[in-house]
Structure 1
Amino acid sequence: MSFNLQISRSLAKNGGMSLGRKTVSSLEIEQEWLEIQAAQGNPALFRPIYNRYFEQVFRFIHRRTADEDLSSDLCSQVFLKAMQRLNEYAFRGVPFSAWLFRIASNEVSQFFRQNKAGRVVSIEDVHIGEVIEEIDEEHNEAMRKKLLLVLNDLNEMDLQLIEMRFFEQMPFKEIADITGMTENNAKVKVYRILERLKKKLIS
């Protein structure tokens, strides 16, 4: 799959199509699990969960499509599949959104593979600087342009990990749940990717 990296300076200032994420406490996650268990027994009780996460899932998809109509269609598919598979959901100690994002990620990937199109990767300008700082390089325009080139050479999974960790500010535990790997494995993979990026940037 090819990628179309889109840079936005305005998103960093006004929130744009960022995920609108907030820190969720362990107590809130446990209370949410009780809601999900209730919805597993009575699908009508899924509505509050849908209302809570619809905008986040829509934004997650829109960052990968840059198309509102397509994002709406895929978002509908995500929640339809979530409803159909709700009884398969098992508590993992992370927000329910991680499971929804996993479904959304699969739906987006499937769409672009079927249509043989390049997926969008939305990057706020401020987060480019964070990646450069993480690999201990000086943040200037030349380095920024070079980083975009080397990011575009990453494979799908590696770019997705960088995208979730730095561009969407996800904790490793949630990244692990979305990708189906362990938290430690997610950390190791991200830091190895950063090492490879650093070698390419200074070469």
Structure 2
Amino acid sequence: MSKGSDDHLVEHRTGGGALLSGGFLEVHRDNIRLPDGQPATREYIRHPGAVAVLPILDDGRLVLVRQFRYPVGRVLLECPAGKLDPGETTLDCARRELAEETGYTAREWAFAGEIHNAAAYSSESIWLWFARGLEPGPQRLDTGEFVEVVTLDATELDALAGRGELPDVKTLWGLLWLQRWRAGAWPLTWAGAGEHGSL
């Protein structure tokens, strides 16, 4: 789809600023000018970005994690993920989070893409990486982090999604990309960690 000029849709900031600055999130309220010239406000969260990893074992099973997510008050099944540290590439973040949350390291990596998981109120991007050639090791969880590692095959994960039991958007996205890649429809280019440049 060719987007052409988007000028008739673009909103322009005219003022405003941070309402709250936390440990790594900031809540902002900006004054804006709508495309028709009328004023409005936008409240949103500034987020440094995050990475998600879909690790694939040699037998095809996927390495996932279960953890309690306080804002929604429930334990979710997810692919390993975490926020970007300042100056960190998305691949370095993916390698770090995979090792910390699951203990696994990977010989090969493939970049899938980027999503905006809550674009109406957050600047967060999530970059999805796939990992294979996995070697097990000990988890290196942060203090106060409680994560259970589980393995499922794609059919089991798909069945959970079909029953509405996989509400985590990054994991659903990873499952979709995996299925489309295995069907030969979506690309993944595999390489060693040092061969991916500065992504």
**TM-score scaled to structure 1, two decimals?**
0.25
Q: Which has the larger radius of gyration?
A: 2
More helix by share: 1
More strand by share: 2
